[in-house]
Amino acid sequence: MVRPTSLKKRILVPLVTAGLCVAVAGGFFLNSTETRQKHHAVEQQAEAMESHLLSSMQIKAEVMEAMLAFIIEDRRIIAALESGDRKQLLELATPIYERFNQQNNITHFYFHDGQRVNLLRVHKPEKYGDTINRFTALGAEKSGSLFSGIELGPLGTFTLRSVLPVFGGGRLLGYIELGQEIDGIIEEAHTMFGVELLLLIAKQYLSQSDWEEGMRMLARPFDWRLLTNMVLVSQSLEEAPIVLLNRVDSELVEEIDVHRDVELNDRNYWAAVIPIKDAGERKVGSLIMLHDMTSLNQDSKTEMLWFAALSTLISWIIFLLFYRVLGNTEQELSDARARLIEEGEARTRQVEQALNIQRVLDEMLNISLPPLTMKEVLSKSLDAVLTIPIFTLQQKGAIFFVAEDGKSLEMAAQRNLSEVLLQSCAMLPFGKCLCGRAAATRELVFFDHLNAQHEISYDGIEPHGHYCIPIISEGRLLGVLNAYVDAGHVREAAEEGFLKNVANTLAVVIERKQAEEKLEEMAHHDTLTGLPNRIVLYDRLDQSLALARRHRESFAVVFLDLDHFKEVNDTLGHDAGDQLLIDASTRISGCIREVDTLARVGGDEFCLILMDTRDPAGATVVAEKILKALTTPFDISGQSCQVGTSIGIAIFPADGEDSETLIKNADAAMYRAKRQRNTYCFFNNKG
């Protein structure tokens, strides 16, 4: 007789089978979810890096565009380009190149004629005469306007180039080109994103001998035969993942391609391959981003082992005590399933947190691109930081700049601070209160409550805490970021890391805007005297004309030329001549009102706009004051120098009703005064 199956077997077999199915399904679900999340996170990080690289190059291209605009304002350079005078071009362009190289890392400076034949390499003057056929030069020739892009060099390095056609008299005079090595952008991305990077370049665009010689010069390891179609130009790891490189070597990708489970030195990486294109839209290489998954994988394995151990323990308990614990076992399985889902959601929240942080940093970088003022950029950046939903920051805070004295902080932007704080914190000495302490120590300061170190207080102040983070760039303190938190707030490493990244990004934004403002200042003011240049003069003259016509008033245009300046320049040298021009501009400025305009228009020539000059007598008074001021001897390098000035005066509207006529007539009157020297003449229609 067949014995009936025991009750234990009838219950245990399906229950154990069901338990095994649940464990396998849970493991498969967890693994699939985690794999998708890893793929998405790596792809998003690669897209963020690609966007960052393009944004960085766009910013550098805009800076070079501003530099080119500054260069073509110098008519002496344009005249030398038109005549092909290499010696004059080198003399005029060398100080500009040295300044751009020091301040903006410009490494290449060219002048080409209208046929793209190189006239001068300012950075390498001994080499010239070759025809320039780079994509950027051809693009500028075809479009007839500024053309920028990256070009691959023979060493396997990239240069960002901007080429500007120069026109005069309705014809093409030539081209001016600036270039900047951009290897530093990739190194900056390695540091900013915390990933390993490898750069591959297709062999078809390189010469083996030139490339190997270049790698020796850069002190980098090299092996032309390492791969079939590409060469490894740079890497942040000491050892390269050969298996992955052989996979990538087969072809250049069209878009970001993700590779999983790359093993190297007992570490597990996921890789994203980012296509690299040059100015001619050629696919010239690939940037490989390696994201270290070792710790994340280890955590996943640990969780799986715990899950397996727990399942085994539950199975044994069920096997021994199935009558008593059947109901509890079902609850345990339900709890285990809930834990799996919760862990998956926690990982999803971590990924979303990282993406939110990256979006805030990208938003701050993008805020600084439009033509906004520094205050507007800082205010918008502060809004982006204080409203991020993943951290418990109050929507209150401020950004401080280091003041001109270098010993105190000046509030530059704020959100929701009381009037008392706006007055008390407008200027903070280093060391005073929490922000001053962060500036003095250059360390992050955190307190979760008000204490004795919070020196600034007032009646009715609400309990709160602070993060105060110094904003530092290359060892230079730029300012302090202050963020409010609730009283009793628990300090979090992730939150602190986010705020440090924000401070680093603010440093980039601040320096970018400062560079833009400096270039704007250089474009509109004379570099020697600090006076407005010819561009500003004509703008002010147009404004004066509009105002005078509206109110039916008169004003005077005055042209000045220093007498005997050439003798001082030739006798005592150019440095003495420069000092004389500075001192003369100071004396002339002291003879006019704030509403008037003084500009240096070239050499030892100055131009004045005297507003609301109702009759020639008003201009006469100013002219006599200037004559007296400039006749007084100058002390130049310990030597007494006596010069004078010849002054020409034109009155609107009697001597002209437009800018060009008034300037021309004042200049003509000045030349009549020059015959006698140290006097002034009015223009008249008979003269």
Instruction: Give the pLDDT of residue 337.
Output: 64
Which residues does 573 contact at the CB level (< 8 Å), separation at least 6? Answer: none
The residues with which 651 forms a beta bridge, in sequence order, are 556
Residue 540: per-residue pLDDT? 92
Instruction: Tell me what the mean pLDDT of segment 24-28 comes to.
Output: 72
pLDDT of residue 357: 62
User: E strand or H helix at 635, and its extent?
Assistant: strand 634-636
Average pLDDT over residues 33-55: 85
How many Cα atoms are found within 13 Å in the side-chain-facing hemisphere of 375? 6
User: Encoding tokens for residue 545?
Assistant: 């004309």
Handedness of CA 32, 37, 40, 45 (dihedral sign): negative
Domain with CATH 3.30.450.20 in the chain: 72-183
Alpha-helix residue ranges (DSSP H) falling in 573-613 = 574-589
Distances (CA, A) of 395 to 148, 209, 387, 447, 484: 41, 59, 6, 17, 7
**Strands laid side by side in the 171-181 sheet:** 118-121, 108-112, 171-181, 158-168, 147-152
**For 209-219, what is the mean pLDDT?**
81
- For residue 632, which phi and psi values (nearest 5 degrees)? -60, 130
Q: 388 near 360, Cβ under 8 Å?
A: yes
Rounded CA-CA distance 179/153 in Å is: 12
**DSSP letters for 464-492:** EEEEEEEEEETTEEEEEEEEEEETTPPP-
Residues of the chain within CATH 3.30.70.270 domain(s) are 534-682
Predicted confidence band of residue 223 (pLDDT cuts 50, 70, 90): confident
Residues of the chain with CATH 3.30.450.40: 374-508
Strands across the sheet containing 555-563? 597-602, 605-610, 555-563, 644-652, 680-682
Per-residue confidence band for 99, with pLDDT thresholds at 50, 70 and 90: very high
Q: How far is it, in rounded angstroms, from Cα 136 to Cα 146?
A: 9
Q: Which residues of 178-190 are buried (b: 16+ CB within 10 A; e: fewer)?
A: bbbebeebbeebb
Q: Work out the number of other CB atoms within 10 angstroms of the CB of residue 462.
A: 9
Q: Which of 521, 525, 454 is nearest to 484 (CA)?
A: 454
Grouping H, G, I as helix, E, B as strand and the rest as coil, residue 505 is helix
In this predicted model, what pLDDT tens digit does every residue of 511-559 receive, in sequence order? 877 767 666 666 678 888 889 988 889 999 999 999 999 988 999 999 9
Nearest CA among 377, 379, 666 for reference residue 513: 377
Cα torsion 630, 599, 106, 117: sign = negative
Average pLDDT over residues 594-611: 92
Asked whether the beta carbons of 128 and 118 are under 8 A apart, the reply is: yes
- Which amino acid is residue 592, in one-letter code? I
Decide if 318 contacts 326 (C-beta within 8 A).
yes
- Please give the single-letter amino acid code of residue 500: K
Q: Side-chain half-sphere of 600: how many Cα atoms within 13 Å?
A: 21
pLDDT category at 5 given cuts 50, 70, 90 is: low
pLDDT band at 562 (very low <50, low <70, confident <90, very high): very high
- What is the tens place of the pLDDT at every residue in 412-433? 888 888 888 888 888 889 988 8
State the pLDDT at residue 366.
Answer: 65
Q: Under a CB-based contact definition with an 8 Å cutoff, are residues 558 and 610 in contact?
A: yes
Q: For residue 175, is pLDDT > 80? A: yes
pLDDT tens for 48-74 read 888 888 888 899 899 999 999 999 999
456-512 residue pLDDT tens: 888 778 888 889 999 998 888 988 998 888 888 888 888 888 888 888 888 888 887
pLDDT of res. 345: 53
Distances in Å between the alpha carbon of 337 and those of 27, 32, 81, 334, 381? 10, 15, 77, 5, 42
Residue 438 has pLDDT above 70, yes or no: yes
DSSP labels for 190-210? HHHHT-EEEEEEEGGGS-HHH
Asked if the model's pLDDT at residue 273 lies above 60, the reply is yes
CATH number of 72-183: 3.30.450.20
Helix (H) / strand (E) containing 272:
strand 267-277
Tokens at residue 248, please?
Answer: 């990538």
State mean pLDDT over 379-391: 76
CB neighbours of 566 closer than 8 A, spacing ≥ 6?
Answer: none
Residue 354: the pLDDT is 54
Give the tens place of pLDDT for each residue, 567-583: 888 888 889 889 999 99
Quick one: CA dihedral 351, 499, 363, 157, positive or negative?
Answer: negative
Joined together, the tokens standing for residue 110 give 């060219």
Up-side HSE of residue 613: CA atoms within 13 Å toward CB? 28
CA-based nearest residue to 186, from 227, 233, 231: 233
CATH no. for 534-682: 3.30.70.270
173: which 2 tokens?
Answer: 């005079």
Q: How high is the mean pLDDT of the chain?
A: 84
User: What's the CA gap between 444 and 464, in Å, rounded?
Assistant: 17
Third-level CATH fold of 195-292: Beta-Lactamase (3.30.450)
In the chain, the amino acid numbered 542 is D
Q: Are 553 and 547 in contact (CB under 8 A)?
A: yes
Distance from C-alpha of 639 to C-alpha of 628, rounded to nearest angstrom: 20
What pLDDT is attached to residue 27?
A: 67
Lowest mean pLDDT, pick from 18-32, 201-215, 258-272: 18-32
Helix intervals (H) in 592-653: 616-631
Pairwise pLDDT comparison (682 vs 368), residue with the higher score: 682
pLDDT score of 340 more than 60: no
Evaluate if residue 318 carries a pLDDT over 80.
no
Contact status, residue 400 vs residue 490, Cβ threshold 8 Å = no
Residue 543: per-residue pLDDT: 92
Strand-pairing partners, residue 655, are: none
pLDDT given for residue 20 in this prediction: 74
Q: What is the per-residue pLDDT for 687? A: 38
Top pLDDT among 447 and 622 is at: 622
| Number of other CB atoms surrounding residue 353 within 10 Å | 16
Distance between the two ends of the chain, CA-based, in angstroms? 142
Is 348's pLDDT higher than 60? no
Nearest to 612 by CA among 660, 556, 658: 556
- Look at residue 556 in the predicted model and tell me its pLDDT: 94
Span 374-508: which CATH code?
Answer: 3.30.450.40
Contact 111, 120 (CB under 8 A): yes
> Quick one: pLDDT at residue 685?
44
Residue type, 281: E
How is residue 181 annotated by DSSP? Answer: E
- Residue range 20-35: average pLDDT? 74
Say what the pLDDT of residue 385 is: 79
Which residues pair with residue 632 across a beta bridge?
Answer: none
Report the pLDDT value the prediction gives residue 686, as an integer from 0 to 100.
41
